[in-house]
Amino acid sequence: MTQVVGKEQSTSKNLVAHPLENIEDVEEFYAAINRHHLTHAITKERPYTYWTIELYDKKNGIRGGGGLGVLAADTRRVAEESNVPFVLITPFYPSEQHQHYIKEGDRFNNYTTHENVDYHDYGYQFLDTVNIHCNNTLVSLDVIEKVLGSTRIICITEPGFGELYSGDSGGDHRLFQEVALGFGGYQALKLAGLKPAIMQLNEVATFFAALARLDELTKNGMDFYEAVVYTRKHTLYTNHTLVQAAEADFSFEQFERFVFPNLKSLAVKKWLADKFENGHIKLSAVTIEIAELRSGVSKLHARVANYRDLAGNKVKFKAVTNGIDIPTWTDKDIIKYLTEKGIIDKFYLPTADYLEKINSIEAKDIIKLKKHGRKELNEVLAHRPNQYGKYVNIPEDALLFEFKRRFVDYKRPWLAFSNPERLKKILEENNAYYILCGRVHEGDDRMAGRLHNLLDLVDRDEILRERVHYLPDYDEELGRALSIGSNVSINNPIVGLEACGTSWMKDIINFGLLISTHDGGVADAAADNYLNIHGNTESEEIESLYLRMEEAVATWQHDFDLEYLIKRQLAAFLPVISGTRMLKDYLEYLF
Ligand SMILES: *Cc1c(COP(=O)(O)O)cnc(C)c1O
């Protein structure tokens, strides 16, 4: 693996001025890191460690809730493909939720089922158990492990662990899960014989891992202040949220039951107790204290995330825009096509001259590849029922719009239904279909109600009933299939509320047209690179959305326009989309 793909071989001459600028090859990349005599370079025994309460990787037995988990899974896959020593530490949830939707009489009923999951079915090996103190009892946690190339997934689990995000976000059970991941996971690393070179905390639910490290260093005799400096220097806090105020807090009393009993160092206990304000603590506030490195997940998000440290100073976040693992989410024929055209290299990075090479993409190829994608989508739809329990098939010559993301307020899944007559006209006149996909969070009655209303609206109209389909239990399979098999995807969060989003990346890489508001990672590039929804009010945005839908239809009818827009999207976003680029950005920031 010494061949360098893409750019010319970069030389040590370049490395002096811009250490990591021209390096496409991972081995070369590592050589460059070592040449810089970094004090904490990563090795098999001292890996990059990534802590996350959520992983979305059903192939490895763990179902997530949304983007946070998908990002974690993709980061690990990219590390495996790039041969980076990487350990992901996460809970293995012994139970998972499934959402169902069915029409009974004239009412849509949704219900949730809970399925047991057994880690033995997914190739994990049991290592040993570790103990943590919780609520006056000693809880024993199983440590399990799965090695995948240069990476591993290490999980802690026990029968009473429950489901992802079960209970209130400030509740005891959530605190138990977070404490188990942090203190249990840190002991699990030691069991596996590993020392973290770096600890990346994927959101604040993983704070306790860094706390466990601080405690261990102090207990082992390091001066407390040195231990704080050391932990801070090697911890990266990746923030995905916008507003600190929205975060739930925990009480001192809860910490007395779940956290303090797990600390061995009196100095660390005092340090932590000092961080409470009026008897309460926000994990973001202490995570900021324990992590000197901090990142946000898109350029816009890193700029606008509004966080303050305990002294009241605004926190700065380094922008590392999320990427996706291209082979996971892209039609195989499209990957082959992009590779043969010299647009991406074997590490799924854009080549040095990708901008020029993109010019050789032709409309007839886009259309052919998309037909193939439609077939793959229909194969998935053959076993994924719609809201009526029926299996739909989207004809090869029909145009498909889709909206696939969690059913939450700020993502506005109902926007295209604001004017049903207008939507109907677009669909009917152009032989088009609309697939809507996305789970409502269990217990979110308000959003469940909005979904019901939307399905009722569709149900009342013969044309909408034929052309609009809601697919329950949104998951990776549907996410991938829809990106591959649709023509146009719609992403319309309220501007300012999406941290990054990655679904739209899956659509662009699969030669779909993107209609989007200028938000999250989409705002990494200028708004004229895709079909932008704009407006000063929601009704202006709705009008803009319909105009864009009409434009998307016309674009798919004119080869020249289609070719132009697909190329433009790729030229603007390919580097953003590449998960390898993201990992490279993290490594550059960390080392
Ligand atoms: C890609 C993907 C996501 C990411 O969603 P965003 O809303 O774009 O952050 C979430 N869930 C599933 C199942 C996915 O495949």
The pLDDT of residue 101 = 86
Rounded to the nearest angstrom, the distance between the alpha carbon of 500 and the centre of ligand 1 is: 11
370 domain-assigned: yes
Domain boundary among 294, 320, 346: 320
Q: Which of 303, 320, 337 is the last residue of a domain?
A: 320
- Model confidence pLDDT, tens digit, residues 193-231: 999 999 999 999 999 999 999 999 999 999 999 999 999
Region 481-505: mean pLDDT is: 97
In eight-state DSSP terms, residue 88 is E
Looking at residues 559-580, what average pLDDT do you find? Answer: 98
- Domain enclosing residue 15, as ranges: 1-41
Q: Give 82 Cα–ligand 1 centroid separation in angstroms.
A: 23
Q: Say if residue 310 is in the same domain as residue 344.
A: no
Position 18 scores a pLDDT of 32
| List of residues 6+ apart from 438 with CB closer than 8 A | 403, 404, 405, 406, 407, 411, 413, 474
- Does one domain contain both 304 and 350? no
pTM for the predicted model, two decimal places: 0.93
590 part of a folded domain = no
Neighbour tally for 583: CB within 10 Å: 27
Q: What is the pLDDT of residue 31?
A: 52
Residue 334 maps to a domain: yes
Q: Are residues 30 and 47 in the same domain?
A: no
Which token pair is 419?
Answer: 């004017």
Mean pLDDT of the chain: 92
pLDDT at 19: 36
Tell me, what's the pLDDT at 439?
93
- Residue from 503, 509, 517, 573 to probe ligand 1 pocket by mutation (most atoms less than 8 Å from CB): 503
In the predicted structure, residue 26 carries a pLDDT above the cut 70? no
Mean pLDDT across 128-148: 97
CA of 43 to the centre of ligand 1 (A): 31
* SS3 state of residue 52: strand
Question: Region 308-318: what's the mean pLDDT?
Answer: 94
Test site for ligand 1: of 165, 502, 522, most ligand atoms within 8 A of the Cβ: 502
Classify residue 591: in a domain, yes or no.
Answer: no
CB of 323 closer than 6 angstroms to any ligand 1 atom = no
Give the pLDDT confidence score for residue 337 in this predicted structure.
Answer: 98
Average of pLDDT values for 368-387? 97
Lowest-confidence pick of 239-253, 292-306, 354-368, 426-440: 239-253
The tens digit of pLDDT for each residue in 160-180 reads 888 898 888 899 999 999 999
Quick check: 189 pLDDT over 90? Answer: yes
**DSSP-H helix ranges across 238-391:** 252-258, 266-273, 283-290, 299-304, 326-329, 332-340, 354-358, 363-381
* 261 and 172 assigned to the same domain: yes
Task: Yes or no: say if 406 and 503 are a contact pair by the CB < 8 Å rule.
Answer: no
pLDDT of amino acid 503: 98
Residue 64 CB less than 6 A away from ligand 1? no
Residue 114 lies in a domain: no
Instruction: Note whether 277 and 398 are same-domain residues.
Output: no
481, 351: one domain: yes
Alpha helix ranges (H) inside 382-493:
420-429, 445-459, 462-467, 476-485
**Total number of domains in the chain:** 3
pLDDT at 7: 33
> Which CATH number fits the domain that encloses residue 265?
3.40.50.2000
Instruction: Please compute Rg for the chain using Cα positions.
Output: 24
Note whether residue 106 is domain-resident: no
pLDDT for 103: 86
| Average pLDDT over every residue of 60-66 | 95
Q: How do residues 385-405 score in pLDDT, each as one tens digit?
A: 999 999 999 999 999 999 999
Whether residues 342 and 356 fall in one domain: yes
Same domain, 377 and 232: no
Q: Mind listing the pLDDT tens digit for each residue in 73-119?
A: 999 999 999 999 999 999 999 999 999 988 888 888 888 899 999 99
One domain for residues 87 and 206: yes
- Residue 15 pLDDT exceeds 90: no
| Cα 67 to middle of ligand 1, angstroms | 4
Give the model's pLDDT for residue 28.
Answer: 54
State the closest ligand 1 atom to the C-alpha of 504, by its place in the atom list counted from 1.
8
Cβ–Cβ under 8 Å, residues 416 and 490: yes
Is the domain of 51 the same as that of 6? no
- Give domain status of residue 589, yes or no: no
From residue 33, alpha-carbon distances to 9, 16, 36, 583 in Å are 16, 12, 5, 14
Across the range 405-412, mean pLDDT stands at 94
Q: Report the share of the chain in percent with pLDDT over 70.
A: 93
Q: Note the pLDDT of residue 105.
A: 85
Q: Give the model's pLDDT for residue 508.
A: 98
Domain contains 432? yes
Which of 274, 299, 320 marks a domain boundary? 320
Instruction: Examine the domain organization and report whether 287 and 381 are in the same domain.
Output: no
